[in-house]
Structure 1
Amino acid sequence: MSTSALLPFISQAFDQMPFNRLLGLHVSHFSSEKVEVSFAWSDTLVGNPLQHILHGGVISSVLDTAGGIMAVSSALGRLTDVEPAELAARLGKMSTIDIRTDYLRPGRGESFVASAQVIRSGNKVAVCRMELHNELGVHIAVGTGTYLVG
């Protein structure tokens, strides 16, 4: 399935998740090589009110979301001639197996972009590398995620 055909399908599933809406996430870039998920600063995302930085759970969740979208798109992108109902059934079975987040700097900024790329995609499992940067390009965190995709 082509990337352009996958985008509406994955976007619909992404937009239906209340947690993604709570964080203010939106897919800002989508290709077969890379996914970017963006969000703006919000006082509701503060982890340390004295330093005015993002909560670590927000950072990890955003990295997981970007990696999950990339893993799903890599797995579904290999499928051809599949009906939307089967795609939906497959999507419902995909999940995070493991995620590691390394916090490099405090999460300061006005807007943020999490990017993800596939390291390996097999029949059952995909592994992605994720990064989070602020609007100035400051590298805030990196992550590696393992996803059940088959």
Structure 2
Amino acid sequence: MEKQFIFEQVKEMWNNSIAFNSLLGFNITEMTEEHAEIKFNWQDKLMGNPVQKILHGGVTASVLDMVGGVVISANMISRIAKPDHKKIADKLSKLSTIDLRTDFLRPGKGETFIATARIIRHGSKVAVARMELHNEKGEHIAFGTGTYMV
């Protein structure tokens, strides 16, 4: 199976089959073994502070965790020799968040939000990703570091 085809299948599954991601409006727009991106639009139901009309901190942390998991999963898949559905499913079933650090830099204001992630380190048992969240104006809202069991 071609790697890019596999990534497209995983993106489609996560975009359409995970109810929590759908509820929040997360859309994986890029997935490679070194970089991932998720976009989502402002919705009032994502509001954490009605006075300031800013994102709930849980939404910010969730999208950072998700985009970190996306880049880690792509990196895991790219390391499988002769990938098939069973090997991919087995690897992805072991992926879980060990630790997530979220640093909130400014209020989450905007119309569109873009979360990105890149690999810092990928070992045989643990992988680490660095994540950022920006709005459509490029304002840096938050960053995070995620440690994942692989």
Q: TM-score normalised to the size of structure 1?
A: 0.94
Q: 2:72 maps to what in 1?
A: 71
Map Cα deviations across residues 106-147 of structure 1 (whole Å, 9 max, x no partner): 000000000000000011111000000000000000000001
Aligned identity (percent) is 48
Q: 2:61 maps to what in 1?
A: 60
> Which range is displaced more, 56-65 or 22-31?
22-31
Q: CA RMSD in A?
A: 1.3
Q: 2:40 maps to what in 1?
A: 39
Q: 1:4 maps to what in 2?
A: 4
Q: Unaligned regions of 5+ residues in structure 1, if any?
A: none
Q: TM-score normalised to the size of structure 2?
A: 0.94
Is residue 27 from structure 1 mapped to residue 28 from structure 2 by the alignment? Answer: yes
Q: 1:107 maps to what in 2?
A: 108
- Partner SS for 1:109: coil
Aligned residue pairs, count = 149
| Cα distance, 1:7 vs structure 2 | 1.3
- Partner SS for 1:6: helix
> Which range is displaced more, 93-102 or 26-35?
26-35
Separation in structure 2 between the aligned mates of residue 81 and residue 111 of structure 1, nearest angstrom: 38
Map Cα deviations across residues 43-71 of structure 1 (whole Å, 9 max, x no partner): 00000001000000000000000000011
Separation in structure 2 between the aligned mates of residue 85 and residue 57 of structure 1, nearest angstrom: 33
Separation in structure 2 between the aligned mates of residue 29 and residue 112 of structure 1, nearest angstrom: 14
